[in-house]
Structure 1
Amino acid sequence: MTFRTAMIDSLIHSPLSIAPGAPSRQQQLLARFKDAILRGRLAAGGKLPSSRALCEELQVSRNTVLAVYEQLVAEGYAQADRQGTRVAALALSPAAVKAAPAMVARMANPRQSRRVATMTPTRDAGDRTLPLTPGMPALSRFPINAWLRAQERALRQAPPQVLGYGDPLGEPALREAIAHYLQVARGVRCDASQVVVTEGAQGALSLCVRLFSNPGETAWMEDPGYGGARAAFHAGDLKTLAMPVDAEGIVIAPRLWRRRPARLVHVTPSHQYPSGAVLSLARRLELIAQAREAGSWIIEDDYDSEFRHRGHPVPAMQGLVPDAPVLYVGTFSKTMFPALRIGFLVLPASAGEGARPALAEMLRGGHRLEQLALAEFIAGGQFSRHLGRMRRLYRERQQALREALQAHLDTEHEVLGGDAGLHLAVRLPLRHEDVAISAAARAAGMNVGALSSFSARGRQADCNGLVIGYGNTSQEQFAPLMRRLARIVRATAEDVSAPSPAAATSRRR
């Protein structure tokens, strides 16, 4: 068999498709050439037939063949000279060609890094539109028209240069607005030069790891705690230690500061996630003092502190003492909407100037129009008005959820924390497996989380229960949803003889 005949056989093993929706014949022919060359069916150095001969054999236009040859040369599969077009010499050994199918199979299931294998998901990203989703705000109540006006003003007033790269730390107008808001509302000691705009709170956490830790160092975090912090620590190759949480927040044994000091300590002091505890003033001051002495950095994750339902908001621990070793992280995902993907990191004054050269290399300053619109939204008073409306709404929804739990969850349970935020944590006896309850609830149209999934220790007596969101659920839904959830809790109990309603208790901490 001549080279030309072998080549034609390789290319027309089946007719080129002309079915509706099929790739063009040019694309099909190009793909067949590439496959034949990579699999060694067309040997290196072999001359391809003339475009006239090939178009007659394949019944395609000559322009189609010429375009295919040109693309093969452009991508390095062929070489053209005065004598014609030849198959390029590629580094494909006979063994490599023979192993190609196995290589393709391995590529479909690639080996992953150890850090990826150790990450345990705490949420199902595909079900966040369901009611009772923890951390999901009331998206239907967002003032979309006011936001559109802010976007229009930002676009109308912005010079063409705004379409280019911006300040790596974020738009100055937004950083000024964030700094002013944090000074007034959260008691944070900062100015705009210390604020870095990030891709949500997760971007800020990752930035903390990259700026202030080295692979192999130790990080502490709350247990149960926020899975995003654990993921950021794992991605930075840090050794993570889980610290228990009680009614006053994170509990750190004094000996750990000597034996296994942390480079980073992640805490959610104003509203512990997910238990709802508030870190006491005594523990805040002790943590700051110990961190300063050990050379550690505290990551204060203030993710939903704006929604305090009883009394005044608890001020940020960052502002308790001058130049505290605190990296303050915040986000607009709860106060505005998650898809905005704008968060921020407030650097200590002593660290900000030294970090700026590194930030200029790591960040590129994007989403400029969205940042300018948000600055306008804040400066124009729309942000404060929206927060006021949402505080009242979430206060009413939390109370409605509490009442529905009291009335319908006839299994022994304990409501934890709950004076702030967008969710309640409910502890259950161990005979009720929370992961099974969460899965059954999701199948029934409710996206409650399993409390144990937030813990590195797994299901324990103090960490078995449900995390129930109320931000995205209207008040009239709570009673029927809690009745449905109560049936699931009873049905999934290891001991099928559920306690009677008269014997059930509901304790608040």
Structure 2
Amino acid sequence: MDYQLLFSTYTAVPAHARWSRQRQLHECLRSAIRSGTLGSGARLPATRTLAHDLGVSRNTVLYAYDQLATEGFVLPDRRGTVVAGAAARTALPAPAATPLRVGLSRRALAVPTRDAPETPAAFAPGVPALKEFPATLWRRLLDRAWKSLRTEQLNYAPHTGEPALREAIANHLRVARGARLDASQVFITDGTQNSLDLCAQAFADAGDKVWIESPGYLGALAAFKAAQLRPVGIVVDGEGMAPTAADWQRHPPKLIYVTPSHQYPTGSVLSLQRRLDLIANARAAQALIIEDDYDSEFRHDGPPLSCMQGLEVDAPVLYLGTFSKTMFPALRLGFVVVPAALVEPLSALLARTAPRGRAADQLALAEFMQSGQFSLHLRRMRRLYRQRRDALVAALEQQLGDVADVYGGSAGMHLALRLRNPQADDAAMSKQLLSMGVVAPALSPQAVGQRVQPWRGFLLGYAQVPVERMPELVGQLAKVVKS
């Protein structure tokens, strides 16, 4: 509480200016207590401290405190003076305020919202097995990182990110994802959503067209609409995004957003031929591909697939990665890998607009990766997620195999359950399931544009759901679907 500001504001009122300093202070404190500004249990400053801060005599403060105590507003104790609990019951009614007539902009209101709460409840998508994360080891790494920080590292961090983390990410991507890069091409962000905002603002202008898969990731759609881009939904089938020749002619894009390793939300994998075609056509159209390598670390069936960024030298690809799924969401660290030609202009832009911090988190993560613990953690999670995937698929086939089909279970942390009835009201079912404590986002609201028949069904995240609970939870889902 800034008592000097409180007192000066109160005494500036003309009706109070004629009062003595003793009365002014007493009435000011009493008004603050009755209005709730000083709540029950709040400790008032020592008399000498308050007198010094306000520029009044200590006797003035003693008088105000004694008067408040006599009236029952404060209670003295061995440590000073506190606001009495009974004082809250004398609070003055708040004066009527003129209704605020401003609100969000039309642009903000047009940003789509996600239809599932961010909660660890089954089957919330994008939530890893948080109980399995090596939290004790992570605390040790954080403690070591804080102890190693130099004084200058408490200032804003490098706008591109800590060099040690950029190097660790580059090393990991070359080995694990087949990427072609050096550390200078890696830019640290606050996660995928921040990366999407950056790409939309830095590499396109208002009114430019951006392709997005349909059904697709609503977080990407929100970033593009917030940047005033014009989203164009491109149909997704069993081999991923499927643009036609007419799409390239009628809706030439500036940006192309794709989740090739495990499409969100259908789970399909973009075939090699389509990856190569997309890169070739993007080059010809002078467009950039935003490759969101969603769930790429968790491949359950077959060998790992290389990222699009590494398929060709200097591919026109902005490669996005995050540690929210491989580590934990609250870490809020991700990265963008840009083509070599864009390193200098993007670095210059971020130097003007994006001072950064959190050096300790970045250094701890760099050590986690360089020590081999990150790879070890990924191997453990792959085994666990494969077991949970298998249990979910078995339960779905047993209880819903006659009315729905499973898509996208070969990788990642989620799969899609597509209902065979094209008229099914999956949105209404999703709301009913949510009231039962089951998070199963509907697929139909995730369609982009009106050109494509929406998928009807549910997005089911399984990473955080124990194997033994799958039959029971799928039973609740089946009960709603078949009712």
- Which residue among 466, 469, 475 is the counterpart of 2:467? 475
Q: Which residue of the partner structure matches residue 437 of structure 1?
A: 429
Please say if 1:275 is aligned against 2:272.
no
- Alpha-carbon deviations, 1:357-388, whole Å to 9, x = none? 11211221211100000000001110000000
Q: Which residue of the partner structure matches residue 163 of structure 2?
A: 172
1:64 Cα offset (Å): 7.5
Please say if 1:198 is aligned against 2:189.
yes
Q: Which residue of the partner structure matches residue 106 of structure 2?
A: 114
* Preserved CA contact (<8 Å) 1:55 1:65: no
Q: Which residue of the partner structure matches residue 311 of structure 2?
A: 320
User: TM-score normalized by structure 2?
Assistant: 0.82
Question: Distance between the aligned counterparts of 1:56 and 1:195, measured in 2?
Answer: 60
Please say if 1:303 is aligned against 2:294.
yes
Instruction: Flag as ranges the 4+ runs of structure 1 deviating above 3 A.
Output: 23-34, 46-50, 52-70, 457-462
* Preserved CA contact (<8 Å) 1:329 1:344: yes
* Preserved CA contact (<8 Å) 2:116 2:440: no
User: CA 1:198/1:65 → structure 2, altered by over 3 Å: closer, same or farther?
Assistant: same
User: CA 1:381/1:50 → structure 2, altered by over 3 Å: closer, same or farther?
Assistant: same
Question: Distance between the aligned counterparts of 2:27 and 2:124, measured in 1?
Answer: 61
Instruction: State the SS of the aligned residue for 2:257.
Output: strand
Paired residue type of 2:108? V
Q: Which residue of the partner structure matches residue 480 of structure 2?
A: 488
1:424 Cα offset (Å): 1.0
Q: Which residue of the partner structure matches residue 21 of structure 2?
A: 51
Pairing 1:75-224 to 2, within 5 Å after superposition? 104-106=98-100, 110-125=102-117, 128-224=119-215
- Alpha-carbon deviations, 1:393-430, whole Å to 9, x = none? 10110000000111122651011122001011011123
User: TM-score normalized by structure 1?
Assistant: 0.78
Question: Distance between the aligned counterparts of 1:208 and 1:63, measured in 2?
Answer: 52
Q: Which residue of the partner structure matches residue 380 of structure 1?
A: 371
1:324 Cα offset (Å): 0.7
Question: Distance between the aligned counterparts of 1:413 and 1:160, measured in 2?
Answer: 59
* Preserved CA contact (<8 Å) 1:52 1:62: no
1:312 Cα offset (Å): 1.3
- Which residue among 368, 379, 387 is the counterpart of 1:396? 387
- Which residue among 360, 384, 394 is the counterpart of 1:369? 360
Question: Distance between the aligned counterparts of 2:329 and 2:424, measured in 1?
Answer: 32
Pairing 1:29-40 to 2, within 5 Å after superposition? none
Q: Which residue of the partner structure matches residue 80 of structure 1?
A: none
- Which residue among 310, 331, 339 is the counterpart of 1:340? 331
1:431 Cα offset (Å): 4.2
Paired residue type of 2:259? T
* Preserved CA contact (<8 Å) 2:318 2:338: yes
* Preserved CA contact (<8 Å) 1:51 1:66: no
- Which residue among 202, 226, 231 is the counterpart of 2:222? 231
1:460 Cα offset (Å): 7.5
Paired residue type of 2:280? A
Alignment RMSD (CA, Å): 2.8
Paired residue type of 2:337? V
Q: Which residue of the partner structure matches residue 281 of structure 2?
A: 290
- Alpha-carbon deviations, 1:419-477, whole Å to 9, x = none? 00101101112343111111111111111111112113479754110011100100000
Question: Distance between the aligned counterparts of 2:206 and 2:423, measured in 1?
Answer: 40
Instruction: State the SS of the aligned residue for 1:369.
Output: helix
Question: Distance between the aligned counterparts of 1:133 and 1:238, measured in 2?
Answer: 29
1:264 Cα offset (Å): 0.7
Pairing 1:454-473 to 2, within 5 Å after superposition? 454-457=446-449, 462-473=454-465
* Preserved CA contact (<8 Å) 2:408 2:415: yes
Instruction: State the SS of the aligned residue for 1:134.
Output: coil
Question: Distance between the aligned counterparts of 1:151 and 1:380, measured in 2?
Answer: 14
1:123 Cα offset (Å): 3.7
Question: Distance between the aligned counterparts of 2:377 and 2:26, measured in 1?
Answer: 70
* Preserved CA contact (<8 Å) 2:10 2:28: no
* Preserved CA contact (<8 Å) 2:233 2:451: no
Paired residue type of 2:125? P
Question: Distance between the aligned counterparts of 2:431 and 2:464, measured in 1?
Answer: 19
- Which residue among 322, 340, 349 is the counterpart of 1:358? 349
- Runs of 5+ unmatched residues, structure 2: 31-46, 57-94
* Preserved CA contact (<8 Å) 1:220 1:240: yes
* Preserved CA contact (<8 Å) 1:325 1:348: yes
* Preserved CA contact (<8 Å) 2:443 2:454: no
Question: Distance between the aligned counterparts of 1:57 and 1:189, measured in 2?
Answer: 71
Question: Distance between the aligned counterparts of 1:348 and 1:230, measured in 2?
Answer: 23
Task: Give percent identity, aligned residues only.
Answer: 44
Instruction: State the SS of the aligned residue for 1:140.
Output: helix
Q: Which residue of the partner structure matches residue 77 of structure 1?
A: none
1:152 Cα offset (Å): 2.1
* Preserved CA contact (<8 Å) 2:165 2:366: yes
Question: Distance between the aligned counterparts of 2:49 and 2:237, measured in 1?
Answer: 74
Paired residue type of 2:353? M
Q: Which residue of the partner structure matches residue 414 of structure 2?
A: 423
Question: Distance between the aligned counterparts of 2:308 and 2:371, measured in 1?
Answer: 28
1:68 Cα offset (Å): 7.5
Question: Distance between the aligned counterparts of 1:129 and 1:198, measured in 2?
Answer: 24
Q: Which residue of the partner structure matches residue 399 of structure 2?
A: 408
